[in-house]
Amino acid sequence: MSTNVRSTEMTQTDERYDVMVVGGGAAGLSAALILGRSRRRTLVVDAGEPRNAPAAHMHGVLSRDGMSPAAYLEAGRREIAEYGVEWRAGKVTGATPDGRDGFTVALADGTAVGARRLVVTTGLVDELPGIDGVAERWGRDVLHCPYCHGWEVRDRAFGVIAHPGMPAHQALMLSNWSKDVTLFLHTADELSAHDAALLDAAGVTVVAGEVVGLVVEDDRLTGVRLADDRVVAREVVFVGADRLVPGDSVLRQLGAALRETPFGEFVAVDETGRTSVPGVWAAGNVTGPQEQVVNAVGLGYRAGVAVNNELLLGDLEDAVAGRPRG
């Protein structure tokens, strides 16, 4: 065990898994399913806060459209158990190379577990704008993704709170789902002439002024309040997160290379999810914010297959070379 992990008070257990999957959302459970089916001794450790938990229903997932996110993950946990994959509620606080081609992984409960390979699928956190009511209504009638929820609220009165970086974009998209869209410029600068023309063509109404809160009556969104106390009647509000914060502390601690994206820094991975750290893969929203559930599932699957292939061929190469197994 390396000093980094040993420095905290921990109980080292004798468990050594082929693979530890850190995070048990869509990406992690998908990786675990294929690893279990590949007869890999696999442990999933999950802190239990998937990104879409505030939403009652999940959409755009073929054959599971409209299912609740919680029921979806519960079904996934049942499936991985069928193949002997272990699942543990908990939070991974760090991982360090163990000097024998694997890792010692520290959990918040003070235990340490060994694993030959890691698949990190820890998702991201949406840091919401501090507008009164946004956090409370998030995933209900404050939404961010037309593909996830647009159909369910089609033709209703939409308010869109402009993102300072690309103020017109979301309102233009949403004009496909309702003909009653109001764009609140909020803190965005004035629109370019081109954006103004596109919004006009899309029939979007533009309202200047800072948004300070949402009006809620009988547990239902009814309006958007501006700083000058005007209230514009709206039924649904779309707004993006101020910041998307990847849950990448374990990857950063391991020294994984990052890449710059329009949404900030995310871990750099190849097409199989392999990071720059040997033996460590990543998949799902921890690698980028645009991965919806189906994409996260696909990326998790791909990482699981790549990890199994590497273990299998690596062990055979070691056997041929007469090297001791890691």
Ligand X SMILES: Cc1cc2nc3c(=O)[nH]c(=O)nc-3n(C[C@H](O)[C@H](O)[C@H](O)COP(=O)(O)OP(=O)(O)OC[C@H]3O[C@@H](n4cnc5c(N)ncnc54)[C@H](O)[C@@H]3O)c2cc1C
| Rg of the chain in Å (alpha carbons) | 23
- In angstroms, rounded to a whole number, what is the distance separating the alpha carbons of residues 114 and 62? 36
- Which residue's CB is nearer to ligand X, number 102 or number 247? 247
Both structure tokens of 308 = 């199994």
Does 50 participate in binding ligand X (rule CB under 6 A)?
yes
> Site for ligand X (CB under 6 A): which residue of 5, 24, 174, 191?
24
Does 289 participate in binding ligand X (rule CB under 6 A)?
no
> Site for ligand X (CB under 6 A): which residue of 16, 59, 117, 274?
59
- Which residue's CB is nearer to ligand X, number 122 or number 308? 122
- Which residue's CB is nearer to ligand X, number 185 or number 282? 282
| Secondary structure (3-state) at 314 | helix
Does 60 participate in binding ligand X (rule CB under 6 A)?
yes
- In angstroms, rounded to a whole number, what is the distance separating the alpha carbons of residues 159 and 255? 42
- Which residue's CB is nearer to ligand X, number 48 or number 84? 48
**103, 5, 107, 4: which is closest to 46 by C-alpha?**
107
- Which residue's CB is nearer to ligand X, number 103 or number 206? 103
Both structure tokens of 68 = 């609740």
How far the first Cα of the chain sits from its last, in Å, is: 14
- Which residue's CB is nearer to ligand X, number 131 or number 185? 131
Does 27 participate in binding ligand X (rule CB under 6 A)?
yes
Does 47 participate in binding ligand X (rule CB under 6 A)?
yes
Does 195 participate in binding ligand X (rule CB under 6 A)?
no
Both structure tokens of 285 = 């929203």
Does 64 participate in binding ligand X (rule CB under 6 A)?
no
- Which residue's CB is nearer to ligand X, number 105 or number 199? 105
Of 45-53, 150-158, 163-171, 264-272, the window that binds ligand X (rule: CB under 6 A) is 45-53
Q: Which residues, numbered 115-144, are part of the site for ligand X (CB under 6 A)?
A: 121-123, 126, 139
> Site for ligand X (CB under 6 A): which residue of 18, 46, 141, 195?
46
Q: Which residues, numbered 259-288, are part of the site for ligand X (CB under 6 A)?
A: 284-285
> Site for ligand X (CB under 6 A): which residue of 48, 66, 110, 203?
48
- Which residue's CB is nearer to ligand X, number 72 or number 184? 72
Q: Measured from the CB of residue 205, what is the shortest distance to ligand X in angstroms? A: 25
Is residue 304 a contact partner of residue 30, using CB atoms and an 8 Å limit?
Answer: yes
Give the β-pairing of 243-246 and 124-127.
antiparallel
Q: In what order do the strands lie in the sheet with 231-233?
A: 211-217, 220-226, 231-233
**The dihedral sign for the CA sequence 1, 102, 287, 148:** negative
Residues in the chain: 326
Q: Measured from the CB of residue 21, what is the shortest distance to ligand X in angstroms? A: 9
Q: Measured from the CB of residue 201, what is the shortest distance to ligand X in angstroms? A: 29
**The dihedral sign for the CA sequence 300, 244, 73, 280:** positive
Both structure tokens of 304 = 């699981």
Q: In what order do the strands lie in the sheet with 205-207?
A: 142-143, 236-238, 158-161, 181-184, 205-207
Both structure tokens of 43 = 């442990």
**Interface residues toward ligand X, by CB under 6 A:** 22-28, 45-52, 54-55, 58-61, 91-92, 121-123, 126, 139, 148, 247, 250, 284-285, 291-293, 296
